[in-house]
Amino acid sequence: EDKVVQSPLSLVVHEGDTVTLNCSYEVTNFRSLLWYKQEKKAPTFLFMLTSSGIEKKSGRLSSILDKKELFSILNITATQTGDSAIYLCAVEAPRGGSEKLVFGKGTKLTVNP
Amino acid sequence: EPEVTQTPSHQVTQMGQEVILRCVPISNHLYFYWYRQILGQKVEFLVSFYNNEISEKSEIFDDQFSVERPDGSNFTLKIRSTKLEDSAMYFCASSEETGPGYTFGSGTRLTVV
């Protein structure tokens, strides 16, 4: 069974701190790993990673994938209260023409002022 | 920016009633999906739809569930006889044939009482 595990499940930090969120996976047919930010409702897309060792960066957020060790990390530097959200990791594991995503449970990040 | 539209945003229904959740995917997208998220739990895949047929479905997607693309723009999820455990946020998503990543709708919160 395809599995995505995120850690920690919950994290509370102060503004300005740097955080690292972890995602490990076991899937039979890996295509890509995606990070989403979920605030009130729909997950919003952050990054898609397909190759090992190449860092994707967007402002204070960055992410990298290790396909040998089957994990990814999402880093957020100089956190702000607006970064408070649930961060979801998902793996694209296509099967039979479908591009199904397998989600982890998410990491709930709370950034206090 | 193109978006996936879901209606209604919140639906309350009596146990045993039928509900139809509606979605308008992005117009040039070819793959369509339904996911659900029970409160406090992870986002779970329900079904994917391509070329007017189901391409993959999960164990959750039993005979009570059906999907349809009735008119080339809408994509609907029907639950025939709702149960209390069907209470969840239901997300529709769509993607282009080659990705990257999905675009999620803002979700329909279904409450079965």
CATH number for the A3-112 domain, one of 2.60.40.10, 3.30.530.20, 3.40.470.10, 2.60.40.1930?
2.60.40.10
Give residue-wise pLDDT tens across range A1-44: 889 999 999 999 999 999 999 999 998 888 889 999 988 777 88
* B44 vs A1 pLDDT, higher one: B44
Q: Does B45 touch chain A (CB under 8 A)?
A: yes
Q: Is the pLDDT of residue B100 over 60?
A: no
Query: Which pLDDT band holds residue B89 (cuts at 50, 70, 90)?
Result: very high
Query: Which pLDDT band holds residue A106 (cuts at 50, 70, 90)?
Result: very high
Give the per-residue pLDDT at A92.
85
A50/A64 Cα distance (integer angstroms): 9
Give the per-residue pLDDT at A45.
87
The one-character DSSP state at A55 is P
A91/A75 Cα distance (integer angstroms): 18
Interface test with B, best of A38, A39, A92, A99 (most B CBs within 10 A): A99
**C-alpha neighbours within 13 Å on the C-beta side of residue B30:** 10
3-class state of residue A22 by DSSP: strand
Q: Given A98, A99, A103, which is nearest B43 (Cβ)?
A: A103
Q: Given B31, B43, B105, which is nearest A99 (Cβ)?
A: B31
- Per-domain residue ranges of chain A: 3-112
Give residue-wise pLDDT tens across range A38-91: 887 778 889 999 989 989 999 999 999 999 999 999 999 999 999 999 999 999
CATH number of this structure's domain B5-98:
2.60.40.10
Q: Tell me the average pLDDT across B59-82.
A: 93
Residue B13 near residue B21, CB atoms below 8 Å = no
A82/A111 Cα distance (integer angstroms): 8
Structure tokens at B8: 């209604």
Radius of gyration of chain B (CA): 13
CA-based nearest distance A105→chain B, Å: 4
**E-only strand ranges, chain B:** 5-7, 10-13, 19-24, 31-37, 43-50, 53-57, 65-68, 75-79, 88-95, 103-104, 108-112
Give residue-wise pLDDT tens across range B11-39: 999 999 999 999 999 988 888 999 999 98
**% of chain B residues with pLDDT over 70:** 96
Pairing outcome for strands B5-7 and B19-24: antiparallel
* B1 vs A70 pLDDT, higher one: A70
Give the per-residue pLDDT at B101.
66
Q: Cβ–Cβ of B99/A103 closer than 8 Å? A: no
